[in-house]
Structures are given as C-alpha cells and as structure tokens.
C-alpha cells in the first residue's frame, strides 16, 4: 500500500536541524542574533527594504494596520475570498472590513468593486495574493494613489512570487509575509512586515514587544500598551535554513504544477487554477469541483480521496458567510464568485518533496473518483 500523500508538507534539511540544535545548546532562545540575521537575509531578498518579523503573519497584518493609524471608524477594503485572518485583523483594530468580490479564475480582488466600495472612511486596501498568484498591483497602487489609501499587501502565500518581473516585497507599501508550516518556507510559525518609513519600522518593533523600548542597560520606557509577538531565535534559525532553499523549493513547485496541467491537458474533469506566468510561486494548487454535475458532495470527494491515500485541503470558505461577519450585516449572495470558490474549491497535493509519480497518482485518483460520481 502506498504511503499517505498529504496536500502539503514542509521540507526541513539536516543542516537546519543541526543549526537549531546549536541554538538550543547556546542558551539564547528568545529574540536574539538569529532573528537579526533572518531579518537581514529577508531584507536582502526583498531588495534591501526594511523587514521586521513577528510570531505570525496574522500579527504582521495587524501591526501593519496599526502603524498606518487605522482604528475605530475607519474602513479597509478586503477581498471576500481569503483566510479569515485578513478580515479578523481589521476588526481587531476597531475598523470595519469592507468586503468585495474576487475574479472567479484568479481568485484575486475585483478592483472595479473595490473602487465602487470606497467611502470617506476608507483608509486602506488589502490585496491578497491568493495561492501565490499576484493581484493586479499596477491597478491597486493607481487606485490607492488616486484616493490617498495605504496598501497593505497580504502576501502570506506569495514569498518568491514576482509581479511583472519584480519580486513581491521588493516594492510597494507594506507587504506581509507568512512562515507558517504550510507556506513555501517556514519558521515553524512566523511572519514579517516588509517596508515602512523609519518611524513605522520603529513602531513595528514596539508593537511586537509591549510597546517598550530600551533606553539603557538599567532603564526602559513603555510608550503604549503593546502586545507580544517577537520571533524566537529557534524559529528564525529554521527560517534562515528555509530561505537558503526558497528558490529551489519554488522551482520544484512550478515543475509539479506544470505536470498537473500537462497530464490533464484540455480534458480536466474539474476547473484547474489560473496558470499565471513564470512569477507564480505555486503556493497551492486549488481547483474547483463541478458539483452541479456530481452525485457526491465535496466532503464525499475528500473522503473518497482519503480512502485512496491522498489528502485534500479546502482554501477557503468565503469570509463574509462566517457568523462573525454576518453579524456585521453581510449575507449570502453578495459576493457570488467568492461564494462559488468557497463551495467548490479543493486543494490538491503540491509541495517540494513530491515526485512526479505522486502528481500522476493524484490525477489518476481524481479522474477515477469524478468519473464514478458524474451524473
């Protein structure tokens, strides 16, 4: 029997494991030299822009909003299709997320709807590079410039992606990255904000450690009631090891994605994701099931694939349909593309350690399950 194939799995090399052991033996486990080294390496990767890490991309997004001065009474434009953190962080600042729909194929923000949703209270727009496919940043930044908005890019899934030949994070306003275990590189848990003025970078440092700064060896100051989201040296050590391999990881992801397209050609029994261009990092391979033609539900499809030893993810439900956002007045039918993606999406296995034979196994299993389930 073949081993179970998950939809994703991180690849940690032996050199990184040894380096983590060295950190553990060294006795400095909280934020220290490894965090500084990781931030410096990320800065170099992002063209020399400032980088400050946090313990999660959720914290990164929240802190980015806070340094932009966003709070009660403000509005932030957010696509209805993303992981719920994209909206939760807006609510946590006291502002209101204003949802707009997404394109059905790219799953990225519909900028016509975004512009129509602007009000006098709109302070920022949050494009999400879903599955690693960059949003239309030329239009995003033109819109932001016309209406004097801040742009907070939710690039949690887009490290290593590029837009028109420019690496995500190497330009723009504030760009937030994720190093969760299912991302293209991991630091176990972690995130980062790229960009910002010197004053904003300093404020990011305050937000991640109690609003506190060190004055001298025996004196500190607390400027505001900040939280705690400083990355550990153990996490940063893992991140450094992963960053060394990012380009190779992404190259492999592109090869695997290309194999999916090659095997299915024009006859795929489900709707394949938008291909994008060579700048796509292929964080996820998220397709859509033709549920109207099937005798089974999405859950039954996932269960049938699990019986065949293959893990399937769901990324993501439409955010406005969660009870937390229905309570804000959102309702079913407002954003039909996001809702359809939320109903139909299935995330197929894609991670660097996969073999081409694994892709063939997934394609064969999907074909078999959907052939048997077609009305």
Q: Which residues are known to be catalytic?
A: 183
Integer Cα distance of 302 and 312 in angstroms: 6
- Least Cα distance to 152 among 201, 90, 110, 104 occurs for 90
Q: Are 341 and 347 in contact (CB under 8 A)?
A: no
Q: Of 133, 151, 154, 129, which Cα lies nearest the Cα of 142?
A: 151
Q: Is the CB of residue 191 less than 8 Å from the CB of residue 176? A: yes
Show Cβ contacts of residue 119 under 8 Å, excluding neighbours closer than 6 positions. 75, 98
- Would you tell me how many other CB atoms lie within 10 Å of the CB of residue 139? 15
Nearest to 152 by CA among 62, 26, 30: 62
Q: Which long-range contacts (CB under 8 A, 24 or more apart) does 206-211 make?
A: 207/63, 207/66, 207/67, 208/52, 208/53, 208/54, 208/55, 208/59, 208/63, 209/31
Instruction: Tell which residue, 176, 147, 136, has the closest CA to residue 159.
Output: 176
The b-or-e profile of 258-271 (16+ CB within 10 A means b, else e) is ebbeebbeeebbbe
> Of the candidates 293, 297, 324, 269, which has an alpha carbon nearest to the alpha carbon of residue 97?
324
Please list, in sequence order, all residues whose beta carbon lies within 8 angstroms of the beta carbon of residue 296, skipping any fewer than 6 positions away: 304, 369, 373
User: Phi, psi at residue 304, to the nearest 5°?
Assistant: -65, -35
Cα separation, 54 vs 174, whole angstroms: 14
DSSP category for residue 185: S
């Amino acid at each position: 029997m073949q081993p179970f194939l998950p939809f994703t799995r991180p690849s940690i090399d032996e050199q990184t494991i040894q380096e983590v052991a060295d950190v553990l033996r060294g006795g400095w486990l909280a934020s220290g030299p490894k965090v500084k080294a990781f931030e410096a390496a990320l800065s170099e990767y992002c063209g020399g822009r400032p980088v400050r890490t946090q313990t999660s991309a959720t914290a990164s997004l929240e802190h980015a909003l806070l340094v932009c001065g966003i709070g009660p009474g403000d509005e932030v434009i957010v696509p209805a299709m993303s992981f719920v953190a994209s909206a939760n962080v807006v609510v946590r600042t006291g502002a209101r997320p204003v949802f707009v729909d997404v394109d059905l194929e790219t799953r990225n923000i519909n900028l016509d709807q975004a512009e129509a949703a602007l009000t006098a209270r709109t302070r920022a727009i949050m494009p999400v590079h879903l599955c690693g496919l960059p949003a239309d940043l030329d239009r995003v930044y033109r819109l932001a410039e016309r209406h004097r908005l801040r742009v907070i890019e939710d690039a949690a899934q887009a490290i290593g992606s590029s837009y028109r030949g420019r690496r995500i994070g190497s330009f723009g306003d504030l760009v937030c990255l994720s190093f969760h275990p299912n991302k293209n590189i991991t630091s176990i848990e972690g995130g980062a904000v790229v960009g910002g003025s010197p004053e904003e970078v300093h404020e990011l440092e305050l937000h991640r450690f109690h609003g506190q700064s060190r004055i001298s060896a025996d004196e500190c100051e607390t400027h505001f009631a900040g939280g705690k989201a400083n990355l550990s040296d153990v996490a940063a050590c893992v991140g450094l090891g992963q960053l060394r391999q990012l380009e190779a990881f992404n190259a492999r992801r592109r090869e695997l994605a290309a194999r999916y397209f090659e095997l299915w050609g024009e006859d795929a029994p489900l709707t394949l994701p938008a291909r994008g261009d060579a700048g796509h990092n292929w964080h996820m391979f998220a397709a859509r099931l033709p549920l109207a033609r099937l005798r089974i539900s999405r859950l039954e499809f996932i269960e049938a694939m699990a019986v065949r030893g293959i893990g399937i993810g769901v990324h993501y439900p439409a955010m406005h349909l969660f009870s937390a956002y229905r309570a804000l007045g959102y309702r079913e039918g407002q954003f039909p593309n996001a809702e359809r993606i939320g109903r139909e999406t299935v995330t197929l296995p894609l991670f660097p350690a996969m073999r081409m034979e694994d892709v063939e196994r997934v394609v064969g299993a999907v074909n078999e399950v959907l052939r048997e389930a077609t009305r």
